[in-house]
Amino acid sequence: MHPTDGATCRTCERPVHGTFCGGCGTPVDALPLPAPRPPDRPTGGGVPRPLLLAGAVVGAAVLLAAGGVALFAGGSEPDPSATTATAPVPAAPTDGSQTTASCERDGSVDGAGRATSYEPERAVDGDPTTAWRCAGDGVGQSLTVTFGSPVRIDRVGLIPGLAKTDPADGTDRYAQNRRIAAVRITTDAGHAAEARLDTSTGNRAVQTIGLAAPVVTRTITVSILSSVPGTPQNGLAAVDSVAIAEMTWG
């Protein structure tokens, strides 16, 4: 497209196309350039055309206007109560094991708005501030570790609650949530052991449950038999939820 396309010939007042006036043959070099086209603006409001924010999707797309106003296309605006942050996915174990559970509580956010999640893998990630977590008293629910090859064990260790202090407001999540009071340990070797656990809020260490004899097994399952309720903390109500912050074996 030539830069003078759209100009009007001063001689015959016809539109210019190409390098000469179509009506009288006047060279375009003798014609004035057309006025610059103003930037596109949306109808109503005079807000500059929004720019696509790469990597974010709400409905079809999330758009961010130049003035910082969020606009949404291809669907309705997101639920303002929904959590927008996403917790990092637990790293896959290097020993070929898999951790599964009969239940899983939905993710939430801490006092600073950082996302948390409660997948079964959180109980075996070596971090006591993360946890597998379920709603309710947990009775009848279970957590199972399946190994890539048989292992020899004679004990299982547990932290029977959400052993976390909120980094933003100092809320004691271990005291606020339920703690597991009794469990049954089973293996695919047919061995089972039941044990009571210390539910005091002052003990957040791994509690070891010894088996009657060493066994070689591909699975370890922890089944919850009972739990005790949490208490209000830092002006917040108690939470009806159980958790295992860490599970070990050896």
Give the model's pLDDT for residue 126.
95
Q: Per-residue b/e over 72-103, b at no fewer than 16 CB within 10 Å?
A: eeeeeeeeeeeeeeebeebeeeeeebebbbeb
Q: Which H, E and C letters describe the chain, residue by residue?
A: CCCCCCCECCCCCCEEECCEECCCCCEHHHCCCCCCCCCCCCCCCCCCCCEECCCCCCCCEEEECCCCCEEEECCCCCCCCCCCCCCCCCCCCCCCCEEEECCCCCCEECCCCCEECCCHHHHHCCCCCCCEEEECCCCCCEEEEEEEEEEEEEEEEEECCCCCECCCCCCEHHHHECEEEEEEEEECCCCEEEEECCCCCCCCCCEEEEEEEEEEEEEEEEEEEEEECCCCECCECCECEEEECEEEEC
Which pLDDT does position 15 carry in this prediction? 65
Do the Cβ atoms of 63 and 70 come closer than 8 Å?
yes
**φ/ψ (deg, to 5) at 227:** -150, 165
- The domain over range 98-249 is classified in CATH as 2.60.120.260: yes
pLDDT tens digits, residue range 142-200?
A: 999 999 999 999 999 999 999 999 988 999 999 999 999 999 999 998 878 999 999 99
* pLDDT surpassing 50 at residue 40: no
Q: Which tens digit of pLDDT belongs to each residue from 95-134?
A: 678 999 999 999 888 788 888 899 999 999 999 999 999 9
Q: Supply the pLDDT for residue 86.
A: 57
Chain position carrying tokens 């190994």: 147
Residue 223 predicted with pLDDT over 80: yes
- Residues of the chain within CATH 2.60.120.260 domain(s) are 98-249
Q: Are 153 and 208 in contact (CB under 8 A)?
A: no
Residue 31: pLDDT band with limits 50, 70, 90: very low
221: left (phi over 0), alpha (psi -120 to 50) or beta: beta
pLDDT value for 109 = 84
Average pLDDT score, the chain: 76
pLDDT(54) > 90: no
In angstroms, the CA 140 to CA 222 distance is 10
